[in-house]
């Protein structure tokens, strides 16, 4: 059975059992002839093979009969539910430092959880995902109202979720947060660089604070942001270079996400800003969000209208350089590129707390709903 590892995206043409003896499975991966019978000419030291006399699988190196199914490249356990290649949406979350990726990821998960509940779906973290998510992210943001440090450059554990309605087959979502420095470093051996082009959806978050025209108008309206990092255009160019070559003949869907949209909403209410003329149009799709409580209302036609509205806003705020760069890279597959506007907090961060008014995510699930429709031809919570 062929298998793709959703940690490192290594592909194997055969799902093989590996020896549980650390002395065997800690060896580095080497190309092998994949066979479970005893007549293989070359067999990996840690791959079990059949003992023709006993009829059982055993390790050719240590003789152990204890084994498990793990990726032969990264040695991560293969999630049993994934062995049969069920419906899975894989998501890569990218952006420059301070673009709000991690906070957005937390609000995305919470929004999907709320949408699932409203639609009578169970939304369940697999294995240690819920424990990891609650301790590393949820408690700090939703309960302690604390900021989360920027995504570390080192490997980040993906989040695995199962979404299922009674008497229906489950759907799986895999989310991985990737530091912008990983893209800039461009280490071909980094599994993250294999994950991104192979994923179903790559999100690139860009920060309104990095748009000069908006920065000038924001002065004095909200607390000044502390810290810095590599610019969004550097990370975006690295990302687009990573996506130039389609993965196995197909290309990931790219969502350009205007993050921290609450900042733009504040500017739209001031008399000194140039935005009221466009933000005053209450018919614009990015000013209303009722899909989080009424998921069944989501449809692809409204997603296309949202895309056009956000593109117009980018041009108005002089943030269209990001859009133009992506359009050039995706000129041959424009249907795989869309724009979105989200707010992970619902309000600008305060001076002493992550949010002075509590966390109220806005339109965070839109990119995922769009990508799910692109892959499966239906709404996620239909």
How far is it, in rounded angstroms, from Cα 40 to Cα 86? Answer: 30
156-170, 273-287, 330-344, range with the lowest pLDDT: 273-287
Looking at per-residue pLDDT, the higher value among 18 and 222 belongs to: 18
75: number of CA atoms within 13 Å, CB side? 15
Contact 336, 253 (CB under 8 A): yes
Burial letters 30-68, b for 16+ CB under 10 A, else e: eebebbeeeebeebbbbbbbbeeeeeebbbbbeeeeebe
pLDDT in tens, 192-209: 777 888 889 999 998 877
How far is it, in rounded angstroms, from Cα 48 to Cα 246? Answer: 34
Contacts of 15 by beta carbon, 8 Å cutoff, 6+ apart: 1, 2, 3, 69, 78, 83
How far is it, in rounded angstroms, from Cα 175 to Cα 128? Answer: 14
Evaluate if residue 43 carries a pLDDT over 50: no
The pLDDT of residue 296 is 63
CA 15-17-20 angle, to 5 degrees, is 145
Q: Mean pLDDT score of the chain, rounded to an integer?
A: 75
How far is it, in rounded angstroms, from Cα 256 to Cα 180? Answer: 15
160: number of CA atoms within 13 Å, CB side? 17
Give the residue from 151, 324, 326 showing the smallest Cα distance to 229: 151
How far is it, in rounded angstroms, from Cα 51 to Cα 145? Answer: 58
């Amino acid at each position: 059975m062929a298998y793709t590892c959703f940690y490192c995206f290594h592909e194997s043409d055969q799902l093989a059992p590996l020896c549980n003896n650390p002395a065997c499975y800690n060896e580095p991966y080497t190309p092998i002839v994949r066979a479970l019978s005893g007549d293989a000419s070359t067999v990996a030291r840690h791959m079990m093979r059949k003992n023709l006399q006993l009829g059982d699988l055993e390790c050719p190196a240590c003789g152990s009969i204890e084994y498990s199914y793990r990726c032969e490249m990264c040695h991560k356990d293969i999630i049993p539910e994934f062995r049969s290649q069920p419906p899975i949406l894989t998501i890569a979350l990218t952006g420059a430092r301070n673009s709000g990726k991690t906070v957005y990821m937390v609000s995305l998960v919470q929004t999907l959880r709320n949408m699932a509940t409203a639609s009578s779906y169970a939304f369940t973290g697999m294995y240690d995902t819920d424990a990891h998510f609650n301790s590393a992210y949820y408690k700090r943001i939703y309960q302690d109202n604390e900021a989360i440090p920027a995504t570390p450059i080192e490997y980040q554990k993906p989040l695995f979720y199962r979404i299922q309605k009674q008497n229906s087959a489950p759907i799986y979502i895999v989310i991985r947060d990737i530091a912008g420095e990983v893209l800039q470093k461009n280490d071909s051996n980094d599994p993250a660089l294999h994950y991104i082009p192979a994923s179903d959806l790559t999100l690139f978050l860009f920060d309104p604070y990095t748009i000069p025209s908006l920065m000038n108008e924001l002065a004095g309206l909200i607390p000044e942001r502390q810290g810095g990092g590599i610019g969004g255009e550097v990370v975006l160019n690295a990302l687009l270079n990573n996506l130039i070559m389609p993965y196995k003949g197909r290309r990931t869907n790219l969502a350009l996400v205007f993050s921290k949209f609450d900042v733009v909403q504040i500017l739209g209410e001031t008399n000194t800003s140039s935005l009221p003329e466009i933000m005053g149009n209450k018919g614009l799709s990015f000013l209303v969000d009722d899909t989080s409580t009424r998921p069944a209302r989501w449809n692809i036609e409204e997603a296309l209208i949202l895309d056009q509205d956000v593109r117009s806003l980018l041009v108005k705020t002089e943030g269209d350089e990001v859009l133009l760069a992506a359009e050039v890279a995706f000129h041959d597959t424009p249907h795989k590129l869309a724009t979105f506007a989200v707010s992970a907090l619902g309000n600008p961060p305060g001076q002493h707390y992550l949010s002075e008014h509590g966390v109220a995510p806005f339109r965070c699930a839109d990119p995922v709903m769009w990508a799910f429709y692109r892959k499966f031809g239906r709404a996620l919570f239909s």
